[in-house]
Every structure is written in structure tokens, then in C-alpha cells.
């Protein structure tokens, strides 16, 4: 059994894979798929690959063509986890004996298992960032957290977009794999379904956590704004009678009380302070302050 990672020219020249499969390899496929032919299958899955420099999650496509004795992989983007696995397979004699000694089903399981476990490691990175946001939500400037939460939500949505369709593909693969790789292969592909379910649970948990954090952060911002508006309103109400008194005694007419009195200014100031104290006491009694 061989493992090949070349492009479609080698495949066309050296295999008897279906022409439709060769045609599919000419360009990336936007959606996951699984096609069974007489003696081989064609599998397309997408996996998230973090671009930490850009702060983005890209969908990397992995195409696999597998017969009972031959397995071909086509990568349209660099996949460190797969490259590391292939490097180990080429150097470790025990791994060679284990995965190259039988049919390709066991190796197919190992490749997909490696990728799903790598997704879990990537999600661990997201989980740590979510935990950091959760710790800061009651401490840091909440307006800045809105951007952080939104970026994390985008990352989780991008990861979820690559992984959700894989459930149907794996279910179909499990049901048909026995025909191509033998009855013993059944438990291996059932294990992949279980592993993918774990991946999906982690993604959904983080998505729900981020939705809750976003709602909590928005509620805290709204509560803070309400407190600010309440304080400003109270000060406006306190200043209203003071402005009224100042306006009345500021009119240039005769007959206003205390205008001719030597201590008139202090009487008016006292009235204003008394009015402010009454209003302030009222608000404190109502527990609005």
C-alpha cells in the first residue's frame, strides 16, 4: 500500500481512478463531498487553519482518494498536522509496519483522526482566549471587549462552517467503508464520528459562551450608560430651580425682593442653596442617588 501527495498529473498517469475524480482535482471544491466508485472513494473535507498573523481562520481543503491498496492526498494549503504525520510515517519503521502493512482504511482513519485532533488543539487556543475575555469582562473597558468578543465569534463561526458539514460525510463514510476496506474497518470510522462529535460539542459550547458573554457585556454597558444618564438627569433637575431663581432675579425690573437690600445677594444665594439641598435630600430619600 502506498501514500502519494502529488498533483493530478501523476494521478492521471499512474492510477485508474475515475475521470470525474481527476477532473475534480483541477480546482478546489467549495463544499465537502464523498463519492464512491467501483474500487475507490473520493473524499473532500475542509479544516480550519489559523493565520495568527492576520488574525483569521481559513478553510483548508484536503482531498483524499483511497482504494484498498492506495491512498492519495491533495492539499490546497499547507497543513502542518498532515505534514508532521507524513514525516513521522516516512521515518518511523514501527509506524510504517502498522499503517502500510494492511489496506488503506487504517491510514485513512489515522489521517482524519490527526486532523480532527488538530482542530481540537486549535479550539483549545480559542477556549483560552474566551476565558481571558470572561476574566476581563468585569474589569476591563467594556467597549474594547466588544471588538474582542466579536472577533472570537467570527473565528468560532469560521471553524464551525468547516466542521458542521463533516458530520454527514463521516456518517456516509462509516456506512460504506466496510465495502471497500473490510468489516474490520467499521469501528475505526465509528471512532471518527465520535471524535468529530467531540469537536462539534467544543465548537458549540464556545459559540454559546461567546453569545452569552456578548449579551452580558452589552447589558453591563447599557447598565453603566443608564447610571450615567440617571446621574446627569438628577443634576439637571437640581440645577433647574437654581436657573429659574437666577433668571428671575436677573430681570432688569423694579420691585424684586432683596434687590435693594445690602445682603440681597446672600439671601438669594441662600434660597438657591436651600432649594438644591431640598432636591438633593429628596433624591437621596428615594434612593435615586
Choosing from 208, 224, 240, the residue where a domain stops is: 224
Residue 55: predicted pLDDT: 66
- CA-to-CA separations, 8 to 25, 67, 186, in angstroms, rounded: 6, 16, 29
Domain boundary among 224, 252, 276: 224
The pLDDT value given to residue 3 = 47
Question: Distance from CA of residue 143 to its chain's centroid?
Answer: 19
Does residue 152 sit in the same domain as residue 277?
no
Q: Where does a domain end: 209, 224, 239?
A: 224
Q: Quick one: pLDDT at residue 119? A: 92
Judge if 207 and 269 occupy the same domain: no
Are 212 and 260 members of one domain? Answer: no
- The three-point CA angle 21-27-31 to 5° equals 80
Same domain? 195 vs 54: yes
Q: What is the model's pLDDT at position 50?
A: 80
pLDDT score, position 52: 66
DSSP string, 100-166: HSS-HHHHHHHHHHHHHHHHHHHHHHHHHHHHHHHHHTTTS-HHHHHHHHHHHHHHHHHHHHHHTTH
Task: Give backbone dihedrals phi and psi of 37, rounded to 5 degrees, phi first.
Answer: -115, -170
Shared domain for 76 and 215, answered yes or no, is yes
Residues in the chain, pLDDT under 50: 1-6
Are 174 and 243 contained in the same domain?
no
Nearest to residue 105, comparing CAs of 46, 189, 44, 32?
A: 189
Q: 138 is written with which cell numbers?
A: 468585569
**Residue 190 is part of which domain span?**
2-224
Condensed to tens digits (0 to 9), the pLDDT of residues 148-204 reads 888 888 889 989 998 999 999 999 999 888 888 888 888 889 999 999 999 999 999
- The total number of structural domains in the chain stands at 2
Instruction: Please give the pLDDT value at position 110.
Output: 92
User: Do residues 236 and 214 both lie within one domain?
Assistant: no
pLDDT of residue 143: 66
* 75, 42 contact by CB (below 8 A): no
DSSP element (H, E) containing 36? strand 33-36
What gap in Å lies between CA 1 and CA 72, rounded to an integer?
A: 11
Integer Cα distance of 56 and 22 in angstroms = 31
User: Residue 32's closest CA among 24, 179, 230?
Assistant: 24
pLDDT of residue 8: 59
d(CA 172, CA 153): 30
| Domain CATH number, residue 160 | 1.20.58.340
Looking at the structure, tell me whether residues 218 and 264 fall in a common domain: no
Residues paired with 63 in a beta bridge: 44, 74
- The answer to whether residues 76 and 91 belong to one domain is yes
Q: Is residue 165 domain-shared with residue 52, that is, in the same domain?
A: yes
* Assessment of whether the complete model's pTM goes beyond 0.85: no
Amino acid at each position: 500500500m502506498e501514500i502519494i501527495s502529488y498533483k493530478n498529473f501523476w494521478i492521471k498517469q499512474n492510477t485508474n481512478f475515475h475521470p470525474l475524480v481527476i477532473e475534480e482535482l483541477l480546482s478546489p471544491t467549495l463544499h465537502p463531498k464523498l463519492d464512491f466508485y467501483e474500487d475507490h472513494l473520493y473524499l473532500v473535507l475542509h479544516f480550519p487553519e489559523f493565520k495568527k498573523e492576520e488574525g483569521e481562520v481559513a478553510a483548508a481543503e484536503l482531498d483524499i482518494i483511497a482504494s484498498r491498496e492506495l491512498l492519495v492526498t491533495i492539499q490546497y494549503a499547507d497543513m502542518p498536522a498532515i505534514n508532521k504525520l507524513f514525516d513521522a510515517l516516512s521515518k518511523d519503521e514501527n509506524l510504517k509496519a502498522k499503517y502500510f502493512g494492511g489496506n488503506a482504511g487504517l491510514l485513512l482513519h489515522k489521517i482524519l483522526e490527526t486532523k480532527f485532533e488538530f482542530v481540537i488543539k486549535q479550539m483549545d487556543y480559542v477556549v483560552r482566549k474566551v476565558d481571558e475575555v470572561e476574566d476581563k469582562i468585569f474589569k476591563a473597558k467594556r467597549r474594547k471587549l466588544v471588538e474582542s468578543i466579536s472577533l472570537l465569534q467570527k473565528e468560532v463561526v469560521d471553524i464551525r462552517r468547516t466542521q458542521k458539514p463533516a458530520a454527514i460525510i463521516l456518517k456516509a463514510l462509516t456506512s460504506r467503508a466496510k465495502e471497500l476496506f473490510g468489516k474490520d474497518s467499521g469501528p475505526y470510522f465509528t471512532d471518527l464520528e465520535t471524535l468529530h462529535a467531540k469537536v462539534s460539542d467544543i465548537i458549540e459550547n464556545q459559540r454559546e459562551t461567546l453569545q452569552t458573554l456578548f449579551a452580558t457585556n452589552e447589558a453591563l454597558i447599557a447598565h453603566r450608560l443608564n447610571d450615567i444618564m440617571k446621574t446627569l438627569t438628577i443634576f439637571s433637575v437640581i440645577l433647574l430651580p437654581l436657573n429659574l431663581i437666577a433668571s428671575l432675579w436677573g430681570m432688569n425690573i423694579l420691585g424684586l425682593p432683596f434687590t435693594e437690600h445690602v445682603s440681597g445677594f446672600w439671601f438669594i444665594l441662600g434660597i438657591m442653596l436651600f432649594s438644591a439641598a431640598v432636591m438633593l435630600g429628596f433624591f437621596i430619600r428615594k434612593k435615586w442617588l
